[in-house]
Structure 1
Amino acid sequence: MTFNEEKFEMLRCGPDCNIKTTTTLHTEGGSHITPTPHVKCLGVYLSADGSFSHHITETVRKARGMAGWVMRTFASREPEVMLTLWKALVQPLLDYCSQLWSPHKKADIQRLEAVQRSFTKHIRGLHDLNYWDRLKILGIYSQQRRRERYRAIYIWKVLEKQVPDPTSLALQAHLNERTGRKCK
């Protein structure tokens, strides 16, 4: 099997800076592979510092771009039309693989929430309402609530052995009649 040398990317992670600076890697053809700060793998940007800030920035940029395209392309601002376009075109960008990259920093959470906040403000009859009232009328969750829900569903799938346990330690659970399922 031959590899396309132009597509090689290298991401260096870990605490040993000496190894990172003194070692070099080369392709089969002898070309030097230079390290990059971010590498895209299966649609998610991984960063050398272990954070997902770059991925969140790119996700917000793409979602804002798609929301802007929807606003420029479609004249109707009726709730049913706008909600259908949101769910079909913008929401998938914000949800993709969110169990992995879900933010913990308040600024990142607010940046993601701002996309939906801005979009719902343009829906007919909802402009003067606050964000939480708009969500209630539309019957949709906040972005943070959606990510929390996806994480809970994923943990449930791990416990039910529907997906492999991604951790090196097996996730353990026991069922108590009074308090429900407890996880270790």
Structure 2
Amino acid sequence: MSFHPDRCNILSITNNKQAIHHKYILHQKELQHVDKAKYLGITIQSNLKWESHISNICGKANSTLGFLCRNLKIGSTSIKEQAYKTLVRPSLEYACSVWDPYNKSDISKIEMVQRRAARFVTNKQRNTSSVGDMIQHLNWRSLEHRRKDM
């Protein structure tokens, strides 16, 4: 198997502010240094923080949820719930044992997707409706608790 140098990068993982960069050459081409790289669907940053990955998965999940909102306007609650659990939630939980967030801001960013999905499933889009009650009525556990069980 031969590597294509244009598709290869160098990711140096360190906490140092001034990382030591060495030149790496593959097939007479110098490889490029990057701050983050995607590997098996997970975005890894050079400082091993997960903000970039969480932003990516939340963006993907929100766009999928938006697609469902536009195309399942009349569907029943069970169909909408099944669509969320099949198409959106797996993208929020993929490989979560590796990247499980510990920052409150990262956790809330992920939970906000599920809260938006609860509004979609129950057809209660008003700001006066309690999302916590919706999630409890749907019998959904928080994504944070689901990650702890995996």
Normalising by the residue count of structure 1, what TM-score does the alignment of the two structures yield?
A: 0.74
CA RMSD of aligned residues (A): 1.8
Instruction: Write the letter of the residue equivalent to 1:121.
Output: R
Match of 2:42 in 1: 44
Q: Secondary structure at the match of 2:33?
A: coil
Gaps of 5+ in 1: 151-184
Match of 1:92 in 2: 90
Match of 1:8 in 2: 8
Q: Secondary structure at the match of 1:54?
A: helix
After superposition, the Cα gap between the structure-2 partners of 1:15 and 1:113, relative to the gap in structure 1 and judged at 3 Å, is closer
Question: Where does structure 1 differ by over 3 angstroms across 4 or more consecutive aligned residues?
Answer: 15-19, 124-129
After superposition, the Cα gap between the structure-2 partners of 1:139 and 1:20, relative to the gap in structure 1 and judged at 3 Å, is same
Give the greater-gyration-radius structure (CA). Answer: 1
After superposition, the Cα gap between the structure-2 partners of 1:131 and 1:18, relative to the gap in structure 1 and judged at 3 Å, is closer
Preserved contact between residue 79 and residue 138 of structure 1 (Cα < 8 Å): no
Q: Secondary structure at the match of 2:121?
A: coil
The alpha carbon displacement at 1:98 in A equals 0.7
After superposition, the Cα gap between the structure-2 partners of 1:35 and 1:10, relative to the gap in structure 1 and judged at 3 Å, is same
Task: Tell which has more relative contact order, 1 or 2 (C-alpha 8 A, sep 6+).
Answer: 2
How far apart, in 1, do the equivalents of 2:120 and 2:132 lie? 15
Preserved contact between residue 24 and residue 33 of structure 1 (Cα < 8 Å): yes
How far apart, in 1, do the equivalents of 2:39 and 2:24 lie? 20
How high is the sequence identity, in percent, across the aligned residues?
22
After superposition, the Cα gap between the structure-2 partners of 1:24 and 1:18, relative to the gap in structure 1 and judged at 3 Å, is farther
Gaps of 5+ in 2: none
Preserved contact between residue 57 and residue 92 of structure 2 (Cα < 8 Å): yes
Q: Please give the residue correspondences for 1:13-162 in structure 2 after superposition, counting only pairs within 5 Å.
A: 13-15=13-15, 20-21=20-21, 23-27=22-26, 29-124=27-122, 126-127=124-125, 129-150=129-150
